[in-house]
Every structure is written in structure tokens, then in C-alpha cells.
Amino acid sequence: NAGVTQTPKFQVLKTGQSMTLQCAQDMNHEYMSWYRQDPGMGLRLIHYSVGAGITDQGEVPNGYNVSRSTTEDFPLRLLSAAPSQTSVYFCASSYSLLGVDSPLHFGNGTRLTVT
């Protein structure tokens, strides 16, 4: 059981370039989300999805797009990378409504540097 798989692990982009961070889960979780982790700022929610075809914005959605065509996959797209998007990105999933019986399962992250 792989859990939540993120690719790539590391990425360096130049300002203005685009890329997609991949996230896949094999736990049949309905809920998937993207967080960014920055020093001193904790984890901030970018976008989330409660099922295939359904997405919504989190705290810091600007500069990022998402789509959810399947239950398993939830890619995060950076259309025009900026240095402010240098961060570690985590994908997380959960079985259903968040709570004691449905914790977040995180991937191991993608470290992105934008120069």
C-alpha cells in the first residue's frame, strides 16, 4: 500500500516557467488537498477537492490551479512560477469528512525552488 505518492521530490524552475506537481493516492480517499510549508509559517492550504470533479480554494490559492478527474489523482499546476512559490509542497488525503476517524495522510513532499 503506497499511500500518498508525490512526484517529483525536487524541482528547480526559472521564473515564468510552468510545471505540474503530481499527487496520487491508492486508499480510495474522497478528500485530497495541497499544502505549502514555509519556515515559520506552518502548513497553508492551497486547494482541496472533496471528490472527482469538485475542487475549491484554500488559504493561498493564487498562482496555482488544480483539477480532479479521478479519485486517485490531484495534480497541482503552476502556470507561471514566481520566486515567492519557492516552498515545500505536500499533498494530503483523507477518507471523508475530517475528524478523529479520518486523519490527513500526507505524501513526502516536493521541494520546489524558483530562481
Partner 1 sequence: QQQVKQSPQSLIVQKGGISIINCAYENTAFDYFPWYQQFPGKGPALLIAIRPDVSEKKEGRFTISFNKSAKQFSLHIMDSQPGDSATYFCAASVSGTYKYIFGTGTRLKVLA
Q: How far apart are CA 94 and CA 5, in angstroms?
A: 14
Confirm or reject binding of residue 2 to partner 1 (CB under 8 A): no
Q: How far is the CB of 41 from partner 1 (least distance, A)?
A: 6
In which region does residue 42 sit, left (phi positive, over 0), alpha (psi from -120 to 50) or beta (all else)? left
- Cell numbers describing residue 24: 496520487
Q: Which of residues 96-115 bind partner 1 (CB under 8 A)?
A: 97-100, 103-104, 106-109
Asked if 25 contacts 32 with a C-beta cutoff of 8 angstroms, the reply is yes
Q: How far apart are CA 37 and CA 94, in angstroms?
A: 19
Q: How far is the CB of 4 from partner 1 (least distance, A)?
A: 7
Q: How far is the CB of 56 from partner 1 (least distance, A)?
A: 8
Pattern of binders to partner 1 over 52-91, x per CB under 8 A? ----x-xx------------------------------x-
